[in-house]
Amino acid sequence: MQTIDFRSDTVTWPTPAMREAMAAAQVGDDVYGEDPTVIELEALAAEMLGKPAGLFVSSGTQGNLIAALTHAQRGDEAILGEDAHTFCWEAGGIAVLGGITPRPLPTDHIGRLDLDQVRQAIRGDNPHWPRSRLILTENSSGGNHGAAIPPDYFAELRAIAEAHDLRLHLDGARLFNATTALQLDPTEITRHVDSVSICLSKGLCAPVGSVLVGDRDFIAQARRQRKLLGGGMRQAGILAAAGLIALRDMTQRLTEDHDRAQRLATGLANLDAIAIDPTVVQTNMVFFALAPDASLSPPEVIEKLKAHSGIQLGFYGDRTFRAVTHYWIRDEHVDALVAALGEIL
């Protein structure tokens, strides 16, 4: 049976064009700075995100960690959302490896920190306290239905960061989903932050990799941190070749995924056993819950969907599921999920 995988957009296989480009890629030793395809990818990402330089890294987690280690020292503190990927899903890396204390704050329904709370959280100079040094943001906001946060928020955060000599990093794992939904050029957002990490291996379908961008000095230091973390790769042009297609072509088709997420949310809203607010769906993520009186438990739903229709869903504890649309999900897969849930519940 063919698997229809809605668990995440991380499950995407490379496209046929990517596989061809990977086979034909020119390569060199990237730790020596000699891989032409990696150099091209870093330059393209930097240009698209309006920053002077880029660094190809192995994953989104590594891009965020390298950014934090580059911006902050041991004993520093990073302000971040209590539902941020950097806080919840990265194995505590900034604390474990960087000695950076996370300072989690609540976020609103689209993943924004409250600006007054950010101001209050910034510490003065006192030897008892960690030093406030960094603000970590995320767009789209994975912990908030993949919401797209508009640029004015980043402009306001920027002003706060500048007033207190803090650095501002954006986890832009799905930045292109956010800017597609907002119909903006990514630079409208990235011009307000010091560094951005974008993922090539989620909705953009590349098999591996992220790019971290920022100014030249920052990237030179980040390169050292990448080596320290064992992230210096050799003939990485094989991977970067897919990344070039991800940036050039796959960023242009994300509306399709967002339309399918809408189609799914609308379909699910017609099912009595499902609780969903379709109006919160803005990008490629659909979160929904099993009604309290549903005939099956959440693990039974996951098991039955897989056994009967080959469909996989993400499970977010309690009674909440996540379905993520991506390149390999077609309209008929969306309809199959709605129909299968209708049948089994």
Asked if 286 touches ligand TLP (CB under 6 A), the answer is no
SS3 for 48?
helix
Shortest distance, position 209 Cβ to ligand TLP, whole Å: 8
Asked if 326 touches ligand TLP (CB under 6 A), the answer is no
Report how far residue 65's alpha carbon sits from residue 240's, in angstroms, rounded to the nearest whole number.
Answer: 20
Cβ closest to ligand TLP, residue 89 vs residue 129: 89
Asked if 8 touches ligand TLP (CB under 6 A), the answer is yes
The stretch among 54-62, 122-130, 216-224, 239-247 that binds ligand TLP (CB under 6 A) is 54-62
Size of the site for ligand TLP (CB under 6 A): 14
**195 - beta bridge partners?**
169
Tokens representing residue 251 in the block: 């960023």
Of the residues 15, 61, 137, 282, which one makes contact with ligand TLP according to CB under 6 A: 61
Asked if 262 touches ligand TLP (CB under 6 A), the answer is no
Of the residues 14, 54, 60, 151, which one makes contact with ligand TLP according to CB under 6 A: 60
Report how far residue 279's alpha carbon sits from residue 253's, in angstroms, rounded to the nearest whole number.
Answer: 22
Report how far residue 94's alpha carbon sits from residue 328's, in angstroms, rounded to the nearest whole number.
Answer: 33
Residue showing tokens 């207190």:
164
Asked if 199 touches ligand TLP (CB under 6 A), the answer is yes
Report how far residue 295's alpha carbon sits from residue 290's, in angstroms, rounded to the nearest whole number.
Answer: 10
For the chain, what is the radius of gyration of the CA atoms?
A: 21
Asked if 59 touches ligand TLP (CB under 6 A), the answer is yes
The stretch among 16-24, 47-55, 57-65, 105-113 that binds ligand TLP (CB under 6 A) is 57-65
Q: In this structure, are strands 210-214 and 195-199 parallel, antiparallel, or unpaired?
A: antiparallel
Cβ closest to ligand TLP, residue 141 vs residue 273: 141
Cβ closest to ligand TLP, residue 129 vs residue 316: 316
Phi, psi at 166, each rounded to 5°: -100, 155
Q: DSSP code of 177?
A: H
Asked if 180 touches ligand TLP (CB under 6 A), the answer is no
Cβ closest to ligand TLP, residue 85 vs residue 226: 85
Phi, psi at 125, each rounded to 5°: -90, 110
Asked if 103 touches ligand TLP (CB under 6 A), the answer is no
Of the residues 173, 211, 250, 254, which one makes contact with ligand TLP according to CB under 6 A: 173
Q: Which residue is nearest to ligand TLP (CB)?
A: 60
Asked if 171 touches ligand TLP (CB under 6 A), the answer is yes
Shortest distance, position 292 Cβ to ligand TLP, whole Å: 26
**288 - beta bridge partners?**
321
Asked if 142 touches ligand TLP (CB under 6 A), the answer is yes
Shortest distance, position 293 Cβ to ligand TLP, whole Å: 29
The 10 Å Cβ neighbour count of residue 108 is: 14
Element (H, E) at 256: helix 254-269
The 10 Å Cβ neighbour count of residue 297 is: 11
Shortest distance, position 238 Cβ to ligand TLP, whole Å: 17
Q: Are 299 and 177 in contact (CB under 8 A)?
A: no
SS3 for 237?
helix
SS3 for 170?
strand
Asked if 187 touches ligand TLP (CB under 6 A), the answer is no
Name the residues that contact ligand TLP, by CB under 6 A: 8, 10, 59-61, 85, 89, 138, 142, 171, 173, 199, 201, 210
